[in-house]
Amino acid sequence: MERVVAWLNEKNPGLDGPIGVDEDLIEARLIDSMDFLEFIDLLEEISGDSIDLQEVTIDDFRTLARVEERFLASGDLAEAPAG
Amino acid sequence: MNTSSITALPGITLRSPGAGLITLDPVRTALLRGLDDLLSGLAARLAAPEVVGPPLLSVEGLARLDFFRNFPHLGVSAGRFGPEALDGLASGGSPQDLPLHPTGHVLPSATCYGLLLSLEGEDVGEDGLRLSAAGRCFRNETHYDGLRRLWGFHMREVVYLGTKDGATEHQERGGEFVQEVAGRLGLDLTRAAADDPFYDNGGSRARLMALDPVKFEYSAPDGTAIASVNRHRNFFGERLGIRAGSHGPAYSSCVAFGMERWVHAMILAHGTAEQALERLRSAGT
């Protein structure tokens, strides 16, 4: 997740505070549409898995919380009870 | 479906000067004007003042709005003959093969660009700003098709700049107006996510657009999109330094009408241009 936050800060040098985990990255254009595929590449590189755009929704990319849950599930989440 | 490039007038024909270029006959002109009056009702309803946009746009301004990254193929350039060509032209030489010099300007491909560029650096305030304008727009196309696809056409737009919620509301109210007017005119329109002519359909912006449509089109039964509602998030606000008071960079959205396409849709729905005009006149009262 640190790399994701670093990428967002690099793309948005004017940010004057931390990005909230529930902040809408799409509507606020912290992920600019021209950078969207680069963001996908970053997530693929970090997770080691490819992302099929046919199998995701925009909400999967909307917040840091969702991005972490959907693409970067850490050991903590993996170890959580399945149900 | 290909509207004839020659429109009839009693005893007279109005010839087309080339592909995608049409002189509208009196009936179609009356349709265009009448429809424009009716669709101007959206601006009245939303209290959007009417303005006249600039006839040319600077390439530098459009480049800052990523226009050429998205639509490099659409831009119709405003060139001029250089001094070296003038003597030859003045003495009757053919202009056909003479080079044109760039002017740094292109013809508008949409009405809203000129309005947005005019607002650079402004603060539209907490309540936002609406503007309405109609203008001739120009797009290079790979093919032309009657009134459905022209090289130059009229586009009426109502633009909003302000808050995120305001931009969404503008889009919603615009959509309601389109369906309401269509109902009065006897037009059956289908709403669907827009399929914009991005140069690179696999590119980043096109892929995001597919996942999160920000533009919807209203189409006649033959698939001709005659109106659209489009929101831009805070893209123009950021790129042009337009603020909405304490909300920061303005969010924006617009409602657009392709006027010749409305004429086309009316004729499609009512059989002939004359019958379409009759229907329009009864709807306008």
Does residue A83 fall inside a structural domain?
no
Q: Which domain holds residue B207?
A: 22-55+109-138+155-284
The answer to whether residues B147 and B264 touch, using CB atoms and an 8 Å cutoff, is yes
**Contacts with A37 from chain B: Cβ below 8 Å:** 203-204, 207
Give kind and range of the element (H or E) at residue B174: helix B164-185
Cα(B185)–Cα(B283) distance, rounded to whole angstroms? 6
List, for chain B, all residue ranges whose pLDDT scores fall below the cut of 70. Answer: 1-8, 285
Domain extent, residue A31, equals: 2-12+21-78
Q: Is B90 helix (H, G, I), strand (E, B) or coil?
A: helix
| Token pair listed for B257 | 């009408």
- Closest approach of A29 to chain B, Cα-based (Å): 7
pTM: 0.89
Looking at per-residue pLDDT, the higher value among A80 and A59 belongs to A59
Is-contact B249 B243, C-beta < 8 A? yes
Could you tell me if residue B33 is inside a domain?
A: yes
Quick check: is A27 in a domain?
A: yes
Is residue B209 within 8 angstroms of chain A, CB to CB? yes
pLDDT digits (tens, 9 = 90+) for A31-53: 988 899 999 999 999 999 999 98
Give this complex's ipTM.
0.80
Q: At which residue do the structure tokens 């004429």 appear?
A: B263
Q: Which CATH number belongs to the domain containing residue A25 in this structure?
A: 1.10.1200.10
| Residue of chain A with shortest Cα separation from B211 | A58
Is the Cβ pair A28, B210 closer than 8 Å?
Answer: no
From the list A27, A29, A36, the residue facing B207 with the nearest CB is: A36
Q: pLDDT-derived band of residue A26, with 50, 70 and 90 as boundaries?
A: very high
Other residues' Cβ atoms within 10 Å of the Cβ of residue B225: 20
Look at residue B89 and tell me if it is in a domain.
Answer: no
CATH number at B39 reads: 3.30.930.10
- Cα dist from B18 to B79, B143, B145, B162, whole Å: 19, 12, 12, 42
Is B254 within the bounds of a domain?
Answer: yes
Taking the C-alpha atoms of residue B108 and residue B88, their distance in angstroms, rounded to an integer, is 30
CA gap B56, B59 in Å, rounded: 9
Q: How many domains does chain A have?
A: 1
Q: Taking CB atoms and an 8 Å cutoff, what residues of chain B touch A53?
A: 207, 210-211
Q: For residue B178, is it within any domain? A: yes
Q: How does strand B215-219 pair with strand B129-138?
A: unpaired
- Alpha-carbon distance of B78 to B103, in angstroms, equals 6
Domain count, chain B: 1
B185 located within any domain = yes
CA B60 to centroid of chain Cα atoms: 20
pLDDT interval class at A74 (50, 70, 90): low
Secondary structure of residue A16 in the 3-state scheme = coil
Q: In this structure, is residue B85 part of a structural domain?
A: no
pLDDT score recorded for residue B56: 98
Whether B165 has its CB under 8 Å from any CB of chain A: the answer is no
What's the CA gap between A45 and A36, in Å, rounded?
Answer: 14
Residue A59 falls inside a structural domain: yes
Residue A79 banded pLDDT, cuts 50, 70, 90: very low
